[in-house]
Amino acid sequence: MNKPSITEKTNSILKEIQRNFGFIPNLAKEMSTSPQTLEIYFKGNTILKHTVLPEKERRMVMLLVAYFNECVYCQAVHKKGAKQAGVNQEEVEAWRIDKGINTDRGKALSLATRLLLSKKGWLTQENLEKLEDRGIDRQQLYEIIAIIGLQTISNYINHIAGTEIDEEFK
């Protein structure tokens, strides 16, 4: 059996993205320059839908990574996604400025994400115990790391490409 060509694989992924989004986002078009990167990013995000973190929490972590990495494109995408997942504007702003997060769970997720980003994963035993005391176990922590990894891919590509925000995300 012949292995599909890179172009066939890229087209297949782009068709899947078209089905999921109703359009092909500019980020996907840019990523298609590297079919492997496109596949890693979109398949990875599909896999993350099946984690212990609910969609609302995943979206807030994604948004926080976009804020941390100053990715304007991803901020727009994840603000819209967070709102679709039931996050209100006040919560979005609270996560952006790290003040006024109104739930213990939100505070714990924000803390975990900010610690991982600022310490580049070098968490101390004290950090880990603090997170565990707030309900963030290793599985959740590792899923946050996976989100950070995937979002960093898109953030950096958007920085390099200067990806224009799609009308659908404005």
Q: Which two tokens stand for residue 68?
A: 């941390």
Whole-angstrom CA distances from 155 to 48, 69, 100, 147, 150 are 17, 7, 26, 12, 9
First to last CA, the chain: 44
* pTM confidence score: 0.91
Confidence grade of residue 5 (pLDDT, cut at 50, 70, 90): low
Over residues 77-132, the pLDDT tens digits come to: 999 999 999 988 898 888 888 888 889 999 999 999 999 999 999 999 999 999 99
Residue ranges of domains in the chain, CATH in brackets: 55-169 (1.20.1290.10)
DSSP readout, 13-41?
HHHHHHHHHSS--HHHHHHTTSHHHHHHH
